[in-house]
């Protein structure tokens, strides 16, 4: 028997318990850190768009001037996933559960990106 240490991918806390399985049989885990915003996680995700590192990259690329389709192509996830991640990240940052979200696609490019394009 081999014991594998499990850490929360959000807060790196080792205080983690098992929390049932997904429909496909994958083990789910729950972070026991009360301050952690991300309670349930898996060790192996089926979809790239669910991987915490990929979701962080979506937000980073948006902040650096990448548009939705640029981000989707580079990270090999769908444009709808990019939009969903950005909406959720904004909600988590502002802590307003039902806030209206301005159109992500018609957002003007940041000044730095526009200068480079010329």
Binding region for Zn ion (CB under 5 A): 8, 10-11, 13, 31, 33, 36
Q: How far is the CB of 31 from Zn ion (least distance, A)?
A: 3
Tell me if 77 sits within 8 A of 51, measured CB to CB: no
Nearer to Zn ion, 10 or 50 (CB): 10
Comparing CB distances to Zn ion, the nearer of 51 and 83 is 51
Cβ atoms of residues 65 and 109 within 8 Å: yes
- CB count, 10 Å around CB of 81? 20
Shortest separation between residue 107's beta carbon and Zn ion, angstroms? 31
Report the residue number, 35 or 44, with the smaller CB distance to Zn ion.
35
Strand ranges of the sheet holding 16-21, from the earlier edge strand across to the other edge: 16-21, 27-31, 40-42
Shortest separation between residue 57's beta carbon and Zn ion, angstroms: 19
Shortest Å, Cβ 44 to Zn ion: 17
Residue 53 CB-density burial (10 A; 0-12 exposed, 13-18 middle, 19+ buried): exposed
The conformation of residue 108, written as its DSSP 8-state character, comes to P
Residue whose CB is less far from Zn ion, 14 or 110: 14
């Amino acid at each position: 028997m081999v014991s594998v240490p499990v850490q929360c991918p959000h807060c790196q806390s080792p205080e983690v318990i098992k929390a049932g399985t997904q429909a496909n049989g994958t083990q789910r885990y729950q972070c026991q850190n009360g301050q952690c915003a991300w309670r349930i996680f898996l060790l192996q995700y089926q979809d790239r768009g669910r991987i915490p590192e990929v979701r962080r990259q979506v937000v980073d690329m948006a902040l650096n001037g990448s548009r939705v389709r640029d981000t989707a192509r580079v990270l090999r996830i769908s444009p709808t996933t990019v939009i969903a991640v950005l909406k959720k990240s904004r909600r988590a940052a502002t802590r307003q559960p039902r806030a209206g979200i301005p159109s992500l696609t018609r957002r003007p490019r940041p000044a730095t990106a526009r200068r480079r394009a010329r």
